Chains A and B, each alone.
Chain A
Amino acid sequence: MKILKSIYNLFFVIFFSLFINIALANVNQLNDYYKTIRCLVCEGQSIQESDTEFAINLKEQIQKKYDSGMDLKTINQELINIYGEEISFNPSNNHFILWFLPLLILVIIFFLVRNKYRKN
């Protein structure tokens, strides 16, 4: 009887720690995700750091969706659809114009200046 009780206690401890671990992992995953979402009221901060009503509401809505079984990738896409890409601190890579525009302008200036000096 004593052995059975000990086994029962052991199982209880194992299941309890497993449950706590899973819950903590979910909380950590969400907290990490909040760090990638920009607070649109105090733009330099993430919603994890911000205490604005916007950030608090967004965290609650994300939590609700996450608890209902929606994965973070889908939630992220939904957020981008609603608020635009500026909501994310990790924008997509399709902003090639942003990166190559200064280079293009420099090349144009270079050729314009070169042509002018050649004339002279």
Chain B
Amino acid sequence: MKKSLILPFVGLAILAICTYFFINKSEKENKKNIALPSLLFETEDFYDKKTLNQKDLGKFYIVNFFASWCKPCLAEHPLLMELQSKGIKIIGINFRDDEENFVQWINEHGNPFFHIIRDDGSIAYEMGLIGVPETFFIEDSEIQKKVQGPLFYEDIEKYL
């Protein structure tokens, strides 16, 4: 190899190594952020006043943040109903909502949730919520996928 070509190759090698470590580091950082808060299992269901038991949830379940004031939540609601009809358990977290409006919304549109929690924002904070709706797909107590914004059929078809 020509001597003059060595330096650019060394530079490119450094670039490749840096990029590899940078990508690796961000992947690790992303994984570190993902955790299910204990508050999720300590907060009572709005209707039956029972707390969640992880054994009842099974291997795979969904956590969905919604609110009655959120229009995109209404758009994804039929998909949640479909998921529920296929036996998938969904934990609904009602984010910073008025109780009366929330009850009316559930009565009007149906209840696809296995467990409903009314959240003042604490669970949302712990789970790194940016806005509603937001959905977390959980397998073996670990968040596998997070969908920000309303769910589309493509997001759930593999679970149906």
Contacts and interface: CB of A to CB of B under 8 A. Distances in A.
B1 interface: no
A22 interface: no
B160 interface: no
A112 B5 CA distance: 8
A70 interface: no
Contacts of B58: none
Contacts of A97: 18, 22
B96 A108 contact: no
Binding site secondary structure of chain B: helix
Interface in A67-85: 81-84
Interface string A81-98: 111100000000000010
A108 B121 contact: no
A54 B8 CA distance: 47
Given A57-B121, A97-B18, A104-B15, A82 B8 contact: no
Residue with the greatest number of chain A CB neighbours at <10 A, chosen from B2, B125, B132: B125
B54 interface: no
B22 A111 contact: no
B15 A57 contact: no
A57 B96 contact: yes
Interface in A1-54: 40-41, 52-54
Contacts of A40: 130
Contact of A112 (B8, B18, B96, B130): B8
Contacts of B125: 57-58, 61, 82
B15 A41 contact: no
A104 B29 contact: no
Given A57-B121, A83-B33, A97-B18, A108 B12 contact: yes
Contacts of A114: 4
B144 to A, nearest CB: 18
A22 to B, nearest CB: 27
Nearest to B18: A97
Interface of B: 2, 4-5, 7-8, 11-12, 14-15, 18, 22, 29-30, 32-33, 95-96, 121-122, 124-126, 128-132
24 contacts: A40-B130, A41-B131, A53-B131, A53-B132, A54-B130, A57-B124, A57-B129, A61-B122, A81-B33, A82-B125, A83-B33, A83-B128, A84-B33, A101-B15, A101-B18, A104-B14, A104-B15, A105-B15, A107-B11, A108-B11, A108-B15, A111-B7, A112-B8, A115-B4
